Structure 1
Protein backbone atom coordinates (compact mmCIF):
# COMPACT_ATOMS: atom_id res chain seq x y z
CA UNK A 1 0.00 0.00 0.00
CA UNK A 2 1.40 3.38 -1.03
CA UNK A 3 -1.56 5.68 -0.50
CA UNK A 4 -1.70 7.69 2.72
CA UNK A 5 -4.37 6.69 5.20
CA UNK A 6 -7.60 8.68 4.95
CA UNK A 7 -8.85 11.07 7.62
CA UNK A 8 -12.47 9.91 7.47
CA UNK A 9 -14.18 6.69 6.38
CA UNK A 10 -17.55 7.13 4.65
CA UNK A 11 -19.64 4.00 4.18
CA UNK A 12 -22.14 2.99 1.61
CA UNK A 13 -24.80 1.18 3.63
CA UNK A 14 -27.26 -0.88 1.54
CA UNK A 15 -25.40 -4.08 0.70
CA UNK A 16 -22.11 -2.93 2.23
CA UNK A 17 -23.10 -2.68 5.89
CA UNK A 18 -26.52 -4.34 5.86
CA UNK A 19 -28.07 -7.28 4.05
CA UNK A 20 -30.94 -5.67 2.15
CA UNK A 21 -31.90 -8.79 0.17
CA UNK A 22 -32.20 -11.22 3.04
CA UNK A 23 -33.91 -8.66 5.24
CA UNK A 24 -36.46 -7.43 2.71
CA UNK A 25 -37.22 -11.01 1.66
CA UNK A 26 -37.78 -12.01 5.30
CA UNK A 27 -40.08 -9.04 5.86
CA UNK A 28 -41.97 -9.64 2.62
CA UNK A 29 -43.04 -13.18 3.53
CA UNK A 30 -45.79 -12.01 5.87
CA UNK A 31 -46.79 -9.04 3.73
CA UNK A 32 -47.17 -11.16 0.60
CA UNK A 33 -49.28 -13.60 2.58
CA UNK A 34 -51.41 -10.73 3.90
CA UNK A 35 -52.31 -9.63 0.36
CA UNK A 36 -53.02 -13.18 -0.81
CA UNK A 37 -49.80 -13.66 -2.80
CA UNK A 38 -47.91 -16.18 -0.70
CA UNK A 39 -47.10 -17.88 -4.01
CA UNK A 40 -44.61 -15.11 -4.88
CA UNK A 41 -40.95 -15.80 -4.06
CA UNK A 42 -40.07 -13.15 -1.44
CA UNK A 43 -36.39 -13.07 -2.45
CA UNK A 44 -37.35 -12.49 -6.07
CA UNK A 45 -39.74 -9.75 -4.98
CA UNK A 46 -36.90 -8.11 -3.02
CA UNK A 47 -34.69 -8.30 -6.12
CA UNK A 48 -37.32 -6.57 -8.28
CA UNK A 49 -37.75 -3.83 -5.69
CA UNK A 50 -33.99 -3.28 -5.49
CA UNK A 51 -33.39 -3.30 -9.24
CA UNK A 52 -35.82 -0.41 -9.61
CA UNK A 53 -33.77 1.45 -6.99
CA UNK A 54 -30.53 0.95 -8.92
CA UNK A 55 -32.07 2.26 -12.14
CA UNK A 56 -33.66 5.22 -10.38
CA UNK A 57 -30.42 6.28 -8.70
CA UNK A 58 -28.48 6.02 -11.94
CA UNK A 59 -30.93 8.25 -13.80
CA UNK A 60 -31.99 10.65 -11.06
CA UNK A 61 -29.56 13.47 -11.88
CA UNK A 62 -30.85 13.73 -15.46
CA UNK A 63 -34.51 13.09 -14.66
CA UNK A 64 -35.26 16.71 -13.81
CA UNK A 65 -37.16 15.62 -10.72
CA UNK A 66 -36.77 17.68 -7.56
CA UNK A 67 -35.13 15.90 -4.64
CA UNK A 68 -37.39 13.70 -2.49
CA UNK A 69 -36.33 11.41 0.39
CA UNK A 70 -35.60 7.79 -0.40
CA UNK A 71 -38.61 6.62 1.62
CA UNK A 72 -40.81 8.30 -0.99
CA UNK A 73 -38.99 6.60 -3.84
CA UNK A 74 -39.04 3.23 -2.09
CA UNK A 75 -42.82 3.50 -1.75
CA UNK A 76 -43.20 4.25 -5.45
CA UNK A 77 -40.97 1.27 -6.25
CA UNK A 78 -42.95 -0.99 -3.93
CA UNK A 79 -46.16 -0.06 -5.71
CA UNK A 80 -44.55 -0.70 -9.09
CA UNK A 81 -43.29 -4.09 -7.88
CA UNK A 82 -46.80 -4.97 -6.74
CA UNK A 83 -48.26 -4.04 -10.09
CA UNK A 84 -45.64 -6.34 -11.59
CA UNK A 85 -47.29 -9.28 -9.80
CA UNK A 86 -50.77 -8.11 -10.84
CA UNK A 87 -51.66 -6.50 -7.52
CA UNK A 88 -53.21 -3.02 -7.54
CA UNK A 89 -51.66 -1.14 -4.59
CA UNK A 90 -54.55 1.35 -4.59
CA UNK A 91 -56.96 -1.31 -3.26
CA UNK A 92 -54.65 -2.50 -0.46
CA UNK A 93 -54.54 -1.35 3.15
CA UNK A 94 -52.35 1.76 2.96
CA UNK A 95 -51.07 1.32 6.51
CA UNK A 96 -49.89 -2.15 5.54
CA UNK A 97 -48.01 -0.68 2.58
CA UNK A 98 -46.46 1.98 4.80
CA UNK A 99 -45.21 -0.69 7.19
CA UNK A 100 -43.97 -2.85 4.31
CA UNK A 101 -42.06 0.12 2.93
CA UNK A 102 -40.38 0.51 6.31
CA UNK A 103 -38.78 -2.90 5.81
CA UNK A 104 -35.85 -0.80 4.57
CA UNK A 105 -35.63 0.71 8.07
CA UNK A 106 -35.21 -2.78 9.55
CA UNK A 107 -32.33 -4.24 7.56
CA UNK A 108 -29.96 -6.58 9.41
CA UNK A 109 -26.23 -5.80 9.54
CA UNK A 110 -23.85 -8.30 8.00
CA UNK A 111 -22.35 -10.51 10.77
CA UNK A 112 -19.01 -8.65 10.79
CA UNK A 113 -20.48 -5.15 10.53
CA UNK A 114 -20.90 -3.95 14.12
CA UNK A 115 -17.62 -5.35 15.45
CA UNK A 116 -15.74 -4.18 12.35
CA UNK A 117 -17.17 -0.67 12.45
CA UNK A 118 -16.39 -0.40 16.15
CA UNK A 119 -12.80 -1.41 15.48
CA UNK A 120 -12.45 1.06 12.60
CA UNK A 121 -14.04 3.81 14.67
CA UNK A 122 -11.25 3.55 17.23
CA UNK A 123 -8.90 5.11 14.65
CA UNK A 124 -11.12 6.91 12.13
CA UNK A 125 -14.34 8.94 12.20
CA UNK A 126 -16.97 6.76 10.51
CA UNK A 127 -19.96 8.27 8.70
CA UNK A 128 -22.57 7.12 6.25
CA UNK A 129 -22.45 8.17 2.62
CA UNK A 130 -25.72 6.57 1.65
CA UNK A 131 -28.77 7.42 -0.41
CA UNK A 132 -30.93 6.56 2.60
CA UNK A 133 -32.83 9.37 4.31
CA UNK A 134 -32.00 10.33 7.88
CA UNK A 135 -35.04 8.71 9.54
CA UNK A 136 -34.35 5.44 7.72
CA UNK A 137 -30.65 5.46 8.59
CA UNK A 138 -31.30 6.38 12.21
CA UNK A 139 -33.85 3.60 12.66
CA UNK A 140 -31.50 1.09 11.06
CA UNK A 141 -28.58 2.21 13.22
CA UNK A 142 -30.60 2.02 16.44
CA UNK A 143 -32.00 -1.41 15.59
CA UNK A 144 -28.70 -2.90 14.44
CA UNK A 145 -26.31 -1.17 16.84
CA UNK A 146 -24.38 0.58 14.07
CA UNK A 147 -21.96 2.99 15.80
CA UNK A 148 -21.87 5.91 13.34
CA UNK A 149 -20.20 9.17 14.27
CA UNK A 150 -22.55 10.95 11.86
CA UNK A 151 -25.37 10.04 9.49
CA UNK A 152 -24.86 11.75 6.14
CA UNK A 153 -26.10 11.09 2.64
CA UNK A 154 -28.56 12.24 0.02
CA UNK A 155 -30.91 14.08 2.37
CA UNK A 156 -27.94 16.02 3.78
CA UNK A 157 -26.21 16.82 0.49
CA UNK A 158 -29.35 17.11 -1.62
CA UNK A 159 -27.99 14.71 -4.24
CA UNK A 160 -28.17 10.98 -4.85
CA UNK A 161 -25.13 8.87 -5.63
CA UNK A 162 -23.65 8.41 -8.21
CA UNK A 163 -24.11 12.16 -8.86
CA UNK A 164 -20.61 13.65 -8.31
CA UNK A 165 -22.10 16.34 -6.08
CA UNK A 166 -23.06 13.71 -3.51
CA UNK A 167 -19.39 12.80 -2.94
CA UNK A 168 -18.03 16.33 -3.24
CA UNK A 169 -20.57 17.81 -0.85
CA UNK A 170 -19.82 15.12 1.73
CA UNK A 171 -16.15 16.07 1.74
CA UNK A 172 -17.06 19.75 2.14
CA UNK A 173 -19.45 19.01 5.01
CA UNK A 174 -16.68 17.07 6.77
CA UNK A 175 -14.14 19.83 6.02
CA UNK A 176 -11.66 17.44 4.43
CA UNK A 177 -10.09 17.28 1.00
CA UNK A 178 -11.69 14.62 -1.23
CA UNK A 179 -8.43 12.65 -1.14
CA UNK A 180 -8.69 12.45 2.66
CA UNK A 181 -12.17 10.91 2.51
CA UNK A 182 -12.39 7.18 1.78
CA UNK A 183 -15.58 5.61 0.49
CA UNK A 184 -16.03 2.06 1.77
CA UNK A 185 -18.41 0.13 -0.45
CA UNK A 186 -19.26 -3.29 -1.83
CA UNK A 187 -20.19 -1.77 -5.20
CA UNK A 188 -17.68 -1.09 -7.96
CA UNK A 189 -19.89 1.51 -9.65
CA UNK A 190 -20.18 3.53 -6.43
CA UNK A 191 -16.43 3.39 -5.88
CA UNK A 192 -15.74 4.37 -9.50
CA UNK A 193 -17.94 7.47 -9.12
CA UNK A 194 -16.22 8.36 -5.85
CA UNK A 195 -12.75 7.91 -7.35
CA UNK A 196 -13.68 10.21 -10.25
CA UNK A 197 -14.32 12.89 -7.61
CA UNK A 198 -10.93 12.35 -6.01
CA UNK A 199 -11.98 10.18 -3.05
CA UNK A 200 -9.94 7.26 -1.78
CA UNK A 201 -11.61 3.88 -2.23
CA UNK A 202 -11.97 0.69 -0.20
CA UNK A 203 -13.83 -2.33 -1.57
CA UNK A 204 -15.35 -4.85 0.84
CA UNK A 205 -16.72 -7.95 -0.86
CA UNK A 206 -20.28 -9.05 -0.11
CA UNK A 207 -20.74 -12.13 -2.32
CA UNK A 208 -24.17 -12.90 -0.87
CA UNK A 209 -25.67 -9.48 -1.58
CA UNK A 210 -27.41 -10.79 -4.68
CA UNK A 211 -27.94 -14.30 -3.37
CA UNK A 212 -24.60 -15.50 -4.73
CA UNK A 213 -25.18 -14.14 -8.24
CA UNK A 214 -22.70 -11.82 -9.90
CA UNK A 215 -23.26 -8.18 -8.98
CA UNK A 216 -24.79 -6.05 -11.76
CA UNK A 217 -21.84 -3.63 -11.64
CA UNK A 218 -19.05 -6.23 -11.81
CA UNK A 219 -17.75 -4.71 -15.04
CA UNK A 220 -16.94 -1.45 -13.19
CA UNK A 221 -14.24 -3.19 -11.13
CA UNK A 222 -10.95 -1.29 -10.77
CA UNK A 223 -7.75 -1.61 -8.75
CA UNK A 224 -9.10 -0.01 -5.56
CA UNK A 225 -6.86 1.53 -2.91
CA UNK A 226 -7.81 -1.12 -0.35
CA UNK A 227 -9.62 -4.43 -0.81
CA UNK A 228 -10.94 -6.65 1.98
CA UNK A 229 -13.29 -9.55 2.51
CA UNK A 230 -15.03 -7.99 5.51
CA UNK A 231 -14.72 -5.06 7.91
CA UNK A 232 -12.37 -6.94 10.19
CA UNK A 233 -9.93 -7.48 7.36
CA UNK A 234 -10.32 -3.83 6.31
CA UNK A 235 -9.44 -2.77 9.87
CA UNK A 236 -6.26 -4.84 9.64
CA UNK A 237 -5.32 -3.27 6.33
CA UNK A 238 -5.86 0.22 7.75
CA UNK A 239 -3.79 -0.50 10.86
CA UNK A 240 -6.64 -0.69 13.37
Structure 2
Protein backbone atom coordinates (compact mmCIF):
# COMPACT_ATOMS: atom_id res chain seq x y z
CA UNK A 1 0.00 0.00 0.00
CA UNK A 2 1.55 3.28 -1.09
CA UNK A 3 0.45 6.85 -0.52
CA UNK A 4 2.19 10.01 -1.68
CA UNK A 5 1.02 13.17 0.04
CA UNK A 6 1.73 16.85 -0.51
CA UNK A 7 1.68 17.99 3.09
CA UNK A 8 -0.14 21.18 3.93
CA UNK A 9 1.38 24.11 5.80
CA UNK A 10 0.12 25.44 9.12
CA UNK A 11 0.36 29.10 10.09
CA UNK A 12 1.75 28.17 13.51
CA UNK A 13 5.19 26.59 13.08
CA UNK A 14 5.03 24.95 16.49
CA UNK A 15 3.67 21.45 16.70
CA UNK A 16 0.02 21.43 17.87
CA UNK A 17 -1.02 19.85 21.15
CA UNK A 18 -2.55 16.78 19.53
CA UNK A 19 -2.52 13.23 20.88
CA UNK A 20 -0.51 12.05 17.91
CA UNK A 21 2.54 14.16 18.63
CA UNK A 22 3.03 13.68 22.34
CA UNK A 23 5.93 11.30 22.87
CA UNK A 24 8.48 13.30 20.88
CA UNK A 25 8.70 15.93 23.60
CA UNK A 26 10.80 13.53 25.68
CA UNK A 27 13.35 12.79 22.96
CA UNK A 28 13.54 15.67 20.48
CA UNK A 29 16.66 17.75 19.96
CA UNK A 30 16.56 21.44 20.73
CA UNK A 31 17.96 22.27 17.29
CA UNK A 32 14.43 22.11 15.90
CA UNK A 33 12.98 25.03 17.87
CA UNK A 34 14.21 28.03 19.79
CA UNK A 35 14.32 27.88 23.59
CA UNK A 36 12.72 31.22 24.48
CA UNK A 37 10.08 31.54 27.20
CA UNK A 38 7.15 30.94 24.84
CA UNK A 39 8.80 27.73 23.67
CA UNK A 40 9.27 26.53 27.24
CA UNK A 41 5.58 27.17 27.95
CA UNK A 42 4.65 25.36 24.74
CA UNK A 43 6.87 22.39 25.61
CA UNK A 44 5.38 22.14 29.11
CA UNK A 45 1.94 22.07 27.53
CA UNK A 46 3.03 19.21 25.28
CA UNK A 47 4.32 17.29 28.31
CA UNK A 48 0.91 17.61 29.98
CA UNK A 49 -0.71 16.50 26.74
CA UNK A 50 1.59 13.48 26.68
CA UNK A 51 0.23 12.23 29.99
CA UNK A 52 -3.36 12.71 28.86
CA UNK A 53 -2.62 11.05 25.54
CA UNK A 54 -1.13 7.93 27.10
CA UNK A 55 -4.40 7.39 29.00
CA UNK A 56 -6.30 7.93 25.74
CA UNK A 57 -4.14 5.40 23.91
CA UNK A 58 -4.79 2.81 26.59
CA UNK A 59 -8.53 3.41 26.22
CA UNK A 60 -8.27 3.10 22.44
CA UNK A 61 -6.55 -0.26 22.71
CA UNK A 62 -9.25 -1.49 25.08
CA UNK A 63 -11.83 -0.61 22.40
CA UNK A 64 -10.14 -2.72 19.70
CA UNK A 65 -12.20 -3.66 16.62
CA UNK A 66 -13.87 -7.08 16.68
CA UNK A 67 -11.74 -9.88 15.19
CA UNK A 68 -12.93 -12.23 12.42
CA UNK A 69 -13.28 -14.98 15.06
CA UNK A 70 -13.33 -14.71 18.82
CA UNK A 71 -9.95 -14.88 20.52
CA UNK A 72 -9.37 -18.64 20.86
CA UNK A 73 -8.55 -20.32 24.14
CA UNK A 74 -4.84 -20.88 24.40
CA UNK A 75 -3.82 -17.80 22.41
CA UNK A 76 -1.43 -15.39 24.06
CA UNK A 77 1.38 -13.01 23.23
CA UNK A 78 4.43 -14.22 25.14
CA UNK A 79 6.73 -11.28 24.49
CA UNK A 80 7.15 -7.98 22.64
CA UNK A 81 10.64 -6.84 21.66
CA UNK A 82 12.01 -3.69 20.03
CA UNK A 83 15.31 -3.49 18.15
CA UNK A 84 16.85 -0.75 16.04
CA UNK A 85 18.13 2.80 16.07
CA UNK A 86 14.61 4.22 16.33
CA UNK A 87 13.62 2.27 19.44
CA UNK A 88 16.59 1.84 21.80
CA UNK A 89 16.09 0.28 25.22
CA UNK A 90 13.95 2.43 27.50
CA UNK A 91 12.42 4.53 24.72
CA UNK A 92 9.15 2.59 24.20
CA UNK A 93 6.00 1.87 26.19
CA UNK A 94 3.42 -0.84 25.35
CA UNK A 95 -0.23 -1.07 26.38
CA UNK A 96 -2.08 -4.36 25.63
CA UNK A 97 -5.65 -5.58 25.96
CA UNK A 98 -6.36 -8.29 28.52
CA UNK A 99 -6.90 -10.89 25.78
CA UNK A 100 -3.67 -9.83 23.97
CA UNK A 101 -5.49 -9.26 20.68
CA UNK A 102 -4.51 -5.58 20.44
CA UNK A 103 -1.47 -3.55 21.42
CA UNK A 104 -0.31 0.07 21.30
CA UNK A 105 3.36 1.01 21.36
CA UNK A 106 4.58 4.58 21.88
CA UNK A 107 8.03 5.88 20.96
CA UNK A 108 10.13 8.74 22.29
CA UNK A 109 13.18 8.58 19.98
CA UNK A 110 11.87 7.38 16.63
CA UNK A 111 12.42 10.33 14.28
CA UNK A 112 14.63 11.17 11.31
CA UNK A 113 15.81 14.72 10.76
CA UNK A 114 17.99 16.72 8.43
CA UNK A 115 19.48 20.22 8.35
CA UNK A 116 22.81 21.96 7.98
CA UNK A 117 25.13 20.63 10.69
CA UNK A 118 23.06 17.53 11.53
CA UNK A 119 24.85 14.20 10.86
CA UNK A 120 23.67 12.23 7.85
CA UNK A 121 23.10 9.24 10.15
CA UNK A 122 20.28 11.18 11.84
CA UNK A 123 18.36 11.07 8.57
CA UNK A 124 17.62 7.33 8.68
CA UNK A 125 16.24 5.35 11.62
CA UNK A 126 14.67 1.91 11.78
CA UNK A 127 12.76 -0.16 14.32
CA UNK A 128 11.69 -3.81 14.33
CA UNK A 129 8.80 -4.74 16.62
CA UNK A 130 8.32 -8.49 17.18
CA UNK A 131 5.28 -9.93 18.95
CA UNK A 132 5.84 -13.60 19.82
CA UNK A 133 2.56 -15.52 20.03
CA UNK A 134 1.25 -18.91 21.07
CA UNK A 135 -1.38 -20.07 18.55
CA UNK A 136 -3.63 -23.06 19.37
CA UNK A 137 -4.27 -25.94 16.96
CA UNK A 138 -6.79 -25.17 14.22
CA UNK A 139 -6.11 -21.42 14.14
CA UNK A 140 -4.01 -18.91 12.24
CA UNK A 141 -3.12 -15.34 13.14
CA UNK A 142 -3.81 -12.51 10.73
CA UNK A 143 -3.55 -8.74 10.82
CA UNK A 144 -6.81 -6.87 11.19
CA UNK A 145 -5.31 -3.39 11.36
CA UNK A 146 -1.96 -1.69 11.87
CA UNK A 147 -1.96 2.07 12.31
CA UNK A 148 1.09 4.34 12.50
CA UNK A 149 0.78 7.86 13.93
CA UNK A 150 3.38 10.56 13.75
CA UNK A 151 4.28 14.06 12.71
CA UNK A 152 6.20 15.90 9.99
CA UNK A 153 7.67 19.38 10.04
CA UNK A 154 9.36 20.37 6.79
CA UNK A 155 10.59 23.52 5.10
CA UNK A 156 10.03 24.10 1.40
CA UNK A 157 11.88 21.50 -0.68
CA UNK A 158 12.26 19.01 2.16
CA UNK A 159 11.10 15.43 1.63
CA UNK A 160 10.69 12.55 4.08
CA UNK A 161 9.38 9.01 3.79
CA UNK A 162 8.17 6.14 5.93
CA UNK A 163 7.95 2.46 4.97
CA UNK A 164 6.93 -0.73 6.78
CA UNK A 165 7.11 -4.47 6.10
CA UNK A 166 4.88 -6.93 7.98
CA UNK A 167 5.67 -10.66 8.20
CA UNK A 168 4.79 -13.69 10.31
CA UNK A 169 7.65 -15.97 11.33
CA UNK A 170 7.25 -19.23 9.42
CA UNK A 171 5.49 -17.57 6.48
CA UNK A 172 7.26 -16.14 3.43
CA UNK A 173 4.52 -13.73 2.34
CA UNK A 174 5.02 -10.07 3.42
CA UNK A 175 2.69 -7.08 3.44
CA UNK A 176 4.08 -3.59 2.84
CA UNK A 177 3.10 0.01 3.45
CA UNK A 178 4.77 3.32 2.56
CA UNK A 179 4.17 7.06 2.42
CA UNK A 180 6.09 10.14 1.23
CA UNK A 181 5.65 13.71 2.47
CA UNK A 182 6.78 16.96 0.83
CA UNK A 183 7.39 20.35 2.44
CA UNK A 184 6.40 22.92 3.41
CA UNK A 185 4.52 21.06 6.13
CA UNK A 186 3.73 21.03 9.83
CA UNK A 187 1.12 18.38 10.56
CA UNK A 188 0.09 15.08 12.12
CA UNK A 189 0.33 12.02 9.87
CA UNK A 190 -1.52 8.70 10.05
CA UNK A 191 -0.93 5.56 7.98
CA UNK A 192 -3.64 2.93 8.48
CA UNK A 193 -3.44 -0.55 6.95
CA UNK A 194 -6.60 -2.67 7.30
CA UNK A 195 -7.11 -6.24 6.10
CA UNK A 196 -10.00 -8.68 5.76
CA UNK A 197 -9.77 -12.41 6.37
CA UNK A 198 -9.21 -12.79 2.63
CA UNK A 199 -6.50 -10.14 2.23
CA UNK A 200 -4.41 -10.47 5.38
CA UNK A 201 -1.09 -12.28 5.52
CA UNK A 202 -1.39 -15.36 7.75
CA UNK A 203 0.75 -17.25 10.21
CA UNK A 204 1.30 -21.01 9.77
CA UNK A 205 -1.68 -23.10 10.90
CA UNK A 206 -1.66 -24.04 14.58
CA UNK A 207 1.96 -23.04 15.05
CA UNK A 208 3.62 -20.61 17.41
CA UNK A 209 4.81 -17.56 15.50
CA UNK A 210 5.78 -13.90 15.75
CA UNK A 211 4.42 -10.86 13.96
CA UNK A 212 7.39 -8.77 12.82
CA UNK A 213 6.91 -5.10 11.93
CA UNK A 214 9.94 -3.38 10.39
CA UNK A 215 9.53 0.39 9.97
CA UNK A 216 11.99 2.87 8.47
CA UNK A 217 11.78 6.67 8.59
CA UNK A 218 14.00 8.68 6.24
CA UNK A 219 14.92 12.28 5.60
CA UNK A 220 15.46 12.14 1.83
CA UNK A 221 16.21 15.77 0.98
CA UNK A 222 19.24 16.98 -0.98
CA UNK A 223 17.88 20.50 -1.59
CA UNK A 224 20.27 23.13 -0.20
CA UNK A 225 18.86 25.00 2.79
CA UNK A 226 15.94 22.61 3.34
CA UNK A 227 15.38 21.08 6.77
CA UNK A 228 12.84 19.13 8.79
CA UNK A 229 11.95 15.83 10.40
CA UNK A 230 9.53 12.91 10.38
CA UNK A 231 8.52 11.25 13.64
CA UNK A 232 6.84 7.92 14.40
CA UNK A 233 4.97 8.55 17.65
CA UNK A 234 2.85 5.43 18.14
CA UNK A 235 1.82 2.12 16.60
CA UNK A 236 -1.51 0.29 16.98
CA UNK A 237 -1.65 -3.46 16.25
CA UNK A 238 -4.89 -5.48 16.01
CA UNK A 239 -4.82 -9.23 15.36
CA UNK A 240 -7.56 -11.27 13.73
CA UNK A 241 -8.07 -15.02 14.15
CA UNK A 242 -8.80 -17.47 11.37
CA UNK A 243 -9.69 -21.17 11.32
CA UNK A 244 -7.46 -23.49 9.30
Output the TM-score relative to the length of structure 1. 0.32
User: Greater share of helix residues, 1 or 2?
Assistant: 1
Structure of higher RCO (CA pairs closer than 8 Å, 6+ residues apart): 2
* Structure whose residues are more often strand by fraction: 2
